[in-house]
Structure formats: structure tokens, C-alpha cells
Amino acid sequence: MKFNLSLKDTHLEIIEQLKEKHSISSSEEIVKRYVKSALELQKDDFIFDSRREICTGGCFASEPQFEIDMDDSDFDKLRRVFENYRTTANSSGFSEYATVEEEISKTIRCIINFAEKEPDSISI
């Protein structure tokens, strides 16, 4: 599934650090590898809990940065994660977004935050 990935400047900086760390030149490739690894951990509460979900720099401050061609299976898993952590009357979670692309981007931003804060917990 191809879509435009919306990121904030801080996420672009983290991606650059991860590319350097792993000697990978493609931003798309590093994101896809970290997404796949995070999903395979099957520890969603650890990755997407409320302290990682908290927005920095404004929840809706991200902008489309590059097109990414995500594996359909991973894309569907990211959609399910977003749905599981959506804000409800009983919980504070992911805010509403206007498009599925923005929802998936939010979920990926959480994975990027996780990769930065817990580097020993995820590997590619």
C-alpha cells in the first residue's frame, strides 16, 4: 500500500540517526524495517502506551515527507493498532485524524519514538 508518510522534524532526525546506525541510505527502507520489527514484537502496550503516544510539537504538526510502499499486511496491522488505541469516552489514546494515511503515520511516529527511547528493545 503506497501512501504519504507524515512526520515531524524530530522524527526525520531520528530516522537519519537510524539510517546512519544501520548503514541504510533509504528513509523508506529504515521505516519499513522498524515497523515490521515493532509489529513482530507483539508488545503493543509497550510501544503504543500513553507515555509514547503523547504528542510533542503539536499532534497535527506533522507534514507529508515521503511516499512509502508498505507491505499490505503491515499496513493492515498498523490500522488495527490505531483502532485499538483510538481515544474513547473511557480512555485517552490516539486522537481522531482526517485520513487513514494520517492515522497510519501517527502509529509509525510512535514506533519511531519507541526506537529512539528503547533502542535495545527493537532490532532490525
DSSP 8-class letter at 35: H
pLDDT along the chain (124 residues), means of 10: 92 95 96 95 81 53 82 95 73 77 92 91 88
Is 70 in contact with 38 (CB distance < 8 Å)? no
Question: In this predicted structure, what is the pLDDT of residue 26?
Answer: 96
Containing H/E element for 63? strand 63-69
The residue ranges of every structural domain in the chain are 2-117
In DSSP terms, 5 is beta-bridged to 66
pTM higher than 0.95 for the full model? no
